[in-house]
Amino acid sequence: MNDHPSLTLATFAAQLDFDSIPNEVVERTVNLYVDWLGSALAGKGARPVETIARFARAAAGATNEDLCEVLIDRGRTTPYFAAMINGAASHFAEQDDVHNGSVFHPATVVFPVALALAQAKRASGRDFITAAVAGYEVGIRIGEFLGRSHYKVFHTTGTVGTLAAAATAGRLLGLAPLQMLDAFGSAGTQASGLWEFLRDAADSKQLHTAMAAANGLMAAQLAADGFKGATHILEGAQGMAAGMSSDADPARLVDRLGSRWATAETSFKYHAACRHTHPAADALLAVVRAHRLAPRDIAKVVAHVHQGAIDVLGPVTAPRTVHQAKFNMGTVLGLVAHHGYAGMTEFEQGFDASEILVFRDKVTMTLDAEVDAAYPARWIGKVTVTTTDGRVFDGRVDEPKGDPGNTLSRDEIATKLHRLAAFSGAASEEEAAQLLRRAWGVAEVAQIGPVFDATPRTMVAA
């Protein structure tokens, strides 16, 4: 077989070695893991998450003694269903991480697979981290390869997530390079996820991440068992790019593999809203703080955004649910103006409060040439605020809170996890603290155990 970009990428993922990963990338991956745990716990009790969990338990059939942990209820199931449920859970709060350049949320599809398979195989912490990094590096590059045209219609975390999950699972299963390429083929031909659900506040986002994780894991397990995939599923004449992109660039697939660590470029989310709202939210916060403006002082806010923000947020004009509100710029800016933060609690308690609805109507989005040209490599935030007494302020942030140059500290990540676990009731304060102590050391353990190992095991009978 001749070399080609997909094979190069598959070989990288198959052969990625812990010792070749720089220390700062390992440390960042641990932070991304802990950050993900918080998002997974936050999914507990969310209707679409629990619906998928009920489906998975019934589909799995009888109770079983498998090792893999379901984080929202500490039950156990097979790797397939653990990946499915944890994948569904960890994107619900919109607090999981994002890679700017690929507009891809890696954690919610990578860690459910890494955790489930590592638990099932009793893999080491080094293998766990290595597999996660393989998933991040592969997924991010495939997202960049598919380009902006893909994201206009397709939910990249669903489509590309399937491949990231396959790379993660493939590394933990020890696939050889050609088997990894088979796994890419079986994952890529199952890649799916459309943005249409946003218009209805439908539950599809949870389905996308659940199935990206499960299908990616399946693709790798099939490959390990000899199942053949297309060798050019990404860039072939009837492959993913041919069907789902008009600006794909195969060179992006192998961009500085092994020297550029895309994993460390991943941003933590600070506000509990669609990432496309964060730059403007932080820019507004800068204006509000600098000029000590109260919400009632503000007559009008123009958010100067990139086209992708208009594509995703534009359809949501009058949000009916908390989840939909996270995709409405006016709601997010209203929460930020009133509370200085758009977190889970702020959304739940106030997304439809009368003062937020009033503020929402003061906000418009407009396409900005500078912001759009910088995107998706950089997510610049720009707002123009007009006060009721006629003053006009321009606000700007070059890196929203959580971006690599403005990242979260371990203390901030821990605080975020405590908030998320408390919000959903998935862990007590003490349990969260215990879980955090263990999770920070994940890279060093000889064997990946349960996240909640102090808790008695319960069965997850349908």
Of residues 60 and 110, the one with the C-beta less far from a copy of itself? 60
Task: Quote the least distance from Cβ 430 to a copy of itself, whole Å.
Answer: 32
Contact (Cβ atoms closer than 8 angstroms) between residue 385 and residue 287: yes
> Does residue 243 interact with a copy of itself by CB under 8 A?
yes
Q: Is position 26 an interface residue for a copy of itself (rule: CB under 8 A)? A: no
> How big is the site for a copy of itself, counted in residues (CB under 8 A)?
69
Residue 106 or 158 having the CB closest to a copy of itself: 158
In 291-400, alpha helices (H): 307-313, 322-325, 329-339, 344-350, 354-360, 369-374
CA torsion sign for 33, 25, 416, 107 is negative
With binding defined as CB under 8 A, does residue 229 bind a copy of itself?
yes
Rule CB under 8 A: is residue 193 a binding residue for a copy of itself?
Answer: yes
Which residue from 3, 17, 65, 389 is in contact with a copy of itself, where contact means CB under 8 A?
65
Distance CA 274, CA 306 (A): 14
- As measured in angstroms, the least distance from the Cβ of 454 to a copy of itself is 25
Q: Which of 99, 208, 304, 419 binds a copy of itself (CB under 8 A)?
A: 208
Question: Is 194 or 373 the residue whose CB approaches a copy of itself more closely?
Answer: 194
CB 263 within 8 A of CB 32: yes
CB of 157 to a copy of itself, least distance (A): 12
Looking at 137-145, 225-233, 342-350, 395-403, which segment touches a copy of itself (CB under 8 A)?
225-233
The CB-of-41 to a copy of itself minimum distance in angstroms stands at 21
Quick one: DSSP state of residue 271? S
- Report the run of H or E that residue 379 belongs to, with start and end: none
Residues 6 or more apart whose Cβ sits within 8 Å of residue 254? 5, 8, 9, 12, 141
Q: Which of residues 299-328 bind a copy of itself (CB under 8 A)?
A: 315
Assign 305 to helix, strand or coil. Answer: strand
Q: Which pair of tokens denotes residue 85?
A: 């449920």
Residue count of the chain: 462
Q: How far is the CB of 181 from a copy of itself (least distance, A)?
A: 10
Stretch 136-155: interaction string toward a copy of itself, x if CB under 8 A: ----------------xxx-
- Interface with a copy of itself, residue 166, by CB under 8 A: no
CB of 59 vs a copy of itself, minimal distance in Å: 4
Q: Is 192 in the site for a copy of itself (CB under 8 A)?
A: yes
Residue 58 near a copy of itself by CB under 8 A = yes
The CA distance from 325 to 344, in Å, is: 11
DSSP state letters, 54-109: HHHHHHH-S-----EEETTTTEEE-HHHHHHHHHHHTTTTS-S-BBTTTTB--HHH
Q: Applying CB under 8 A, does 106 fall inside the site for a copy of itself? A: no
- Contact with a copy of itself (CB under 8 A): which of 202, 286, 374, 445? 202
Among 38, 43, 79, 400, binds a copy of itself (CB under 8 A): 79
How many CB atoms sit inside 10 A of residue 431's CB?
A: 17
Q: Is 386 in the site for a copy of itself (CB under 8 A)?
A: no
Please give the C-alpha separations between residue 356 and each of 318, 346, 347, in angstroms, as whole numbers: 12, 11, 10
Eight-class DSSP state of 429: H
- Residue number, 154 or 261, with CB nearest to a copy of itself: 154
Contact between 384 and a copy of itself by CB under 8 A: the answer reads no
Question: What single DSSP character describes residue 20?
Answer: G
Q: Which two tokens stand for residue 52?
A: 């998928």
Q: Which of 5, 185, 279, 381 binds a copy of itself (CB under 8 A)?
A: 185
Q: Does 390 bind a copy of itself (CB under 8 A)?
A: no
* Residues 394 and 383: beta-carbon distance below 8 Å: yes
Listed residue (184, 189, 191, 124) closest to 154, CA to CA: 191
Strand partners, 305: 367
Of the ranges 214-222, 260-268, 341-349, 366-374, which one interacts with a copy of itself (CB under 8 A)? 214-222
User: What does the binding site for a copy of itself look like in residue numbers (CB under 8 A)?
Assistant: 47-48, 51-52, 54-55, 58-66, 77-81, 152-154, 158, 182, 185-186, 188-204, 207-208, 211, 215, 218, 221-222, 225-233, 236-240, 242-244, 315
